[in-house]
A and B are shown apart, each in its own frame.
Chain A
Amino acid sequence: MATKAYDKSFREEVYQNVDSGEDVKLCMQCGVCGITCPLRGEMTHGPRQLWSLIRAGKRDEVMNSPDIMLCTSCYSCKVRCPRGVKVIDVMHGLAHYALEQGIVPRKETSKFGKAFWDSIYKTGRVDETEVPMRYTLMAGPIHGIFNMLEMMDIGRALLAHKRMKFKIGPGLPPSKKIKGMKGLKKMLDKAKAMSPGKEG
């Protein structure tokens, strides 16, 4: 069995730069989060072990763990954590932090999420027609078309049942912005500047 040495630099990095990262300190290793997670069977580490790895200073193992983006946001762990650790927020924070470092924990979710956030940042809302389209097209022109074709059945069904607005072509015409978009953009920029690890 490999011997791992404890290193304090990564935990300090997480405490300072990751959203809700300081909550990791509060974990008492009971394991309720891990056993409560609906995708526990799909995870290599699960939240509890991730926290331990953070404290032990295992940067690579944590940052490259696909688990950090496998959270369904069901809140079971947050509800049950006896220490009140915001497990979900830490998981999301770690995923965000990894993406910022250029690490992509889960490809598809990252692409979709990016399209989703871009829509918010541009229009203030998410257009349920536009976002999946953008997402499918991110695969590149050829794959994008195939992906689109694959989604056609679902798109058609939604359209037929008045659950999707009809549009011609991706992103055309551009989605309507909220009235206060200018202000919202300023707020979001300010919020970003004030987020952990972004100050100064």
Chain B
Amino acid sequence: MDKNQACYLCKGCGLGEALDFDNLEEVLGESGVSEVKTHDALCSPDGVALIQADVDGGVNAVLIGACSSRVKTDEFNFGSQVIVERASLREQALYCSSDEEEAKEDRQMLAADYLRMSAVKLAKSNVPVPFKLELEPETALLVVGGGVAGINAALAGAKAGVQVYLVEKEAALGGFLGKMAKLAPESPPYQELEDTGLEELVAQVEADGKIKVYTGNTVDKTAGAPGNFTITLSGGDTFRCGAIVQATGWLPYEPEKLADELAYGTSPGIITNVDMEAKAKAGDLGGLNGVAFIQCAGSRDQNHLPYCSAVCCTVSLKQAMMVKEANPEAAVYVIYKDIRTPGQSEEVYREAQRKGVVFIRRDEDYPKISESGGKLAIETKDMTLNDTVEIDELDMVVLATGLKPNNPKVVDAPLVALGMDQEAAKKLAAESKAQCDSWSVLNLQYRQGPNLPTLKYAYPDSHFICFPYETRRTGIYTAGAVRRPMRVSQAVEDATGAALKAIQAAHAAAEGVAVHPRSGDMSFPEFAMQRCTQCKRCTEECPFGAINEDEKANPLPNPTRCRRCGVCMGACPERIISFKNYSVDMIGSMIKSIDVPEEDEEKPRVIVLACENDALPAIDMAARKGHKWSPYIRFIPVRCLGSVNLVWIADALSSGIDGVMLFGCRHGEDYQCHFIKGSELANVRMSKISETLDRLVLESDRVRVEEISFNEVDRIPEIISEFMETIEEVGPNPYKGF
């Protein structure tokens, strides 16, 4: 494409008074941008019209020197065919710099550098051309799992007008919902137990022409990518679909493991909540005069399930109410550590109390259960009475066991690792994770394995609060207890959310644009294959398993699986991966365009490669909040720290830049990286930077990685000033002037 570029500088928000615009025009001219216009308020209708008129006249690459690229995005959008590059003069040159007269020169240099970098970026950017699948894109939805979540996802998909395939391994739809007697109150005033409504749901599915049901089937193979998955079922049928919802539910925690603690197996009166539900469904609750429920039976216990299953309390409340309904005179006890009743279930708790259920708070020790003469007795600590109490004459003790992920290969790593040393335990945990990842519902034909990658406790998920339903496999969404323990009403909500996400993903694939978090991005990584050395780093490191391999280990990219984070670009030692508007060369050239003053000027230069998801907004907010920092800092936004290629560090240091900082998201167990592994990978890579620094004979203090989260606004100036002190101690980069 022929680039016809122009630059627009804004004099609003104080920029006009703070900067020398003649000088900036000169700088731009030297950078190859000769067409420069200024305006007093570029974001005003008048200012926007100025740019629009030029665009209409043929300008297709616009450099805007005004405020942060995160604001005024609607005003400065001139359509997909016009490249817009923003230099954040307001936040990064004006707001953050001292307003004293002697600081003017530094500020001017700061603004000039941002314009130089933007000019280079503009020159090297191209308008992205969306990726097109070879075959006609498919928008049909596959829903795996015919329980409450799956049925609702299928219905939601069909309602949205999409063809749905619903696959269930059992002979009939229903899943665990089909095994439930009643639901805990789900609607105001939360006092009456409710019917499961399963028959009605199944009838709706059967009546819906857009839903094709495969019962008695599992998925043998899932090949392809969003917009073009090919599914092979155990029954032999194959079909194409655009996106997938996995709603395969949960497994109950094995009560046999509680034989020591809670005497499971010693008496027919000691049962689990799952057994209790079956009894209730069979109408077998008559004649009970004394029943006790023991909460957290194996839950929130480092030796069993370390987490809270979130539903067992409500389930026990419901079952206690059922016992009371069958016999109002029955003595019913709930022995708990904490009653956890999320949402409106607190009302259910109240209702169970009104019905006369007695609640006893215990400590961490399990109650002792004993049997004599056909009756059960419990001895437990009563925390409120600060005493040991006895409850006898019980007909039944119900153990409120928790929910496990639906993966038969899941082992309780903490349990097996107990008593082992750290290293052995880690090894065991890794082995059990590998085991768990080797089993799959979908049997993905992916380079990185057949299962959805799992996180903590073997649940497949990306970030369950920030990005529910997302998995690390684009176009595949999880709904219901498959992704975390949840109750029926939450699974229903989940199903709708996941189905809509899946439909979106199929449409995005068809249009060749990215899904969350870079929704709508048309760029995608392109591989200069003739230079590939088959090192496999990209295929291994892609957080989303987007890249398959051929037999010779050549990468086979699947752009519709890609989230456009650039981790592959950061990984590639040969630098053969680039986007139309984001490349190793582009950022490298931006770094090299920075004007590095001579050593005797005593003006060091430090670049900060900042994640544009969290660090960049934090920087913007810090500047807007009035924080000031060193004028020797130059920020360069990156898509993800995972996209940082080591060569940029070398480029920077060899061109006389004194220090490099990387601002990325928190990684590790509570990671906040939008691309899951980006910041972690960057950290690993940077730990190996010493090699590069040694080659250049430079101090390792010159490079630092910092974790910044979105809200850590006040840390920004602290981190910068601390780093500037370090740089001062280390002294000027000896490469200056080379």
A positions within 8 Å CB-CB of B: 1-6, 8, 11, 15, 22, 25-29, 48-49, 52-53, 55-56, 83
Question: B359–A28 contact, CB under 8 A?
Answer: yes
Candidates A5, A22, A53; contact of B392 at CB < 8 Å? A5
Give the secondary structure class of B's interface.
strand
Candidates B350, B359, B385, B391; contact of A49 at CB < 8 Å? B385
Give the secondary structure class of A's interface.
helix
Given contacts A11-B358, A25-B353, A55-B358, contact A49 B384 (CB under 8 A): yes
In the complex, chain A residues whose CB is within 8 Å of the CB of B385: 4, 49, 52-53, 56
Given contacts A28-B339, A29-B359, contact A56 B389 (CB under 8 A): yes
Nearest Cβ distance between residue A97 and chain B, in whole angstroms?
19
The listed residue with most B CB atoms (<10 A of its CB), out of A29, A49, A53, is A29
Sample of 18 further A-B pairs with CB below 8 A, known A26-B354, A49-B385 = A1-B387, A3-B388, A4-B382, A4-B385, A4-B389, A6-B389, A8-B358, A11-B358, A22-B354, A25-B354, A28-B353, A29-B359, A29-B383, A52-B382, A55-B358, A55-B360, A56-B389, A83-B350
Q: B597 on the interface (CB 8 Å rule)? A: no
The listed residue with most B CB atoms (<10 A of its CB), out of A6, A8, A26, is A6
Nearest Cβ distance between residue B314 and chain A, in whole angstroms?
15
Cα distance, A13 to B350, chains bound together (Å): 20
Question: A52–B350 contact, CB under 8 A?
Answer: no
B positions within 8 Å CB-CB of A: 331, 333, 339, 349-350, 353-354, 356, 358-361, 379, 382-385, 387-392
Nearest Cβ distance between residue B288 and chain A, in whole angstroms?
14
Cα distance, A25 to B354, chains bound together (Å): 6
In the complex, chain B residues whose CB is within 8 Å of the CB of A5: 389-392
Question: B384–A25 contact, CB under 8 A?
Answer: no
Nearest Cβ distance between residue A59 and chain B, in whole angstroms?
14
Cα distance, A183 to B388, chains bound together (Å): 53
Candidates B349, B350, B390; contact of A6 at CB < 8 Å? B390
Nearest Cβ distance between residue B292 and chain A, in whole angstroms?
10
Cα distance, A50 to B57, chains bound together (Å): 84
From A58, which residue of chain B is reached at the shortest CB distance?
A: B385
Nearest Cβ distance between residue A192 and chain B, in whole angstroms?
26
From A11, which residue of chain B is reached at the shortest CB distance?
A: B358
In the complex, chain B residues whose CB is within 8 Å of the CB of A55: 358-360
From B361, which residue of chain A is reached at the shortest CB distance?
A: A29
In the complex, chain A residues whose CB is within 8 Å of the CB of B356: 15, 25
Cα distance, A28 to B385, chains bound together (Å): 14
From B381, which residue of chain A is reached at the shortest CB distance?
A: A1
Cα distance, A1 to B383, chains bound together (Å): 13
In the complex, chain A residues whose CB is within 8 Å of the CB of B349: 28
From A45, which residue of chain B is reached at the shortest CB distance?
A: B385
Question: B390–A4 contact, CB under 8 A?
Answer: yes
Nearest Cβ distance between residue B367 and chain A, in whole angstroms?
12
Cα distance, A175 to B350, chains bound together (Å): 48
Question: A2–B391 contact, CB under 8 A?
Answer: no
Candidates A6, A48, A52; contact of B391 at CB < 8 Å? A6
Q: List 25 A-B contacts (CB under 8 A).
A: A1-B388, A4-B385, A4-B390, A5-B389, A5-B390, A6-B358, A6-B360, A6-B389, A6-B391, A8-B331, A11-B358, A15-B356, A25-B353, A26-B350, A26-B353, A26-B354, A27-B353, A28-B339, A28-B353, A28-B359, A29-B359, A29-B383, A48-B384, A49-B384, A56-B385
Nearest Cβ distance between residue B1 and chain A, in whole angstroms?
65
Cα distance, A56 to B361, chains bound together (Å): 12
In the complex, chain B residues whose CB is within 8 Å of the CB of A15: 356
From A82, which residue of chain B is reached at the shortest CB distance?
A: B346
In the complex, chain A residues whose CB is within 8 Å of the CB of B387: 1-4
In the complex, chain A residues whose CB is within 8 Å of the CB of B384: 29, 48-49, 52
Q: List the 7 shortest-distance A-B pairs measured between CB atoms, nearest first.
A: A52-B384, A5-B390, A6-B391, A25-B353, A4-B389, A8-B331, A55-B358
In the complex, chain B residues whose CB is within 8 Å of the CB of A56: 382, 385, 389
Cα distance, A109 to B93, chains bound together (Å): 75
Question: B350–A3 contact, CB under 8 A?
Answer: no
Given contacts A25-B353, A28-B339, A56-B382, contact A3 B358 (CB under 8 A): no
Cα distance, A11 to B360, chains bound together (Å): 14
In the complex, chain B residues whose CB is within 8 Å of the CB of A28: 339, 349, 353, 359
Nearest Cβ distance between residue A81 and chain B, in whole angstroms?
12
From B379, which residue of chain A is reached at the shortest CB distance?
A: A3
Nearest Cβ distance between residue A67 and chain B, in whole angstroms?
15
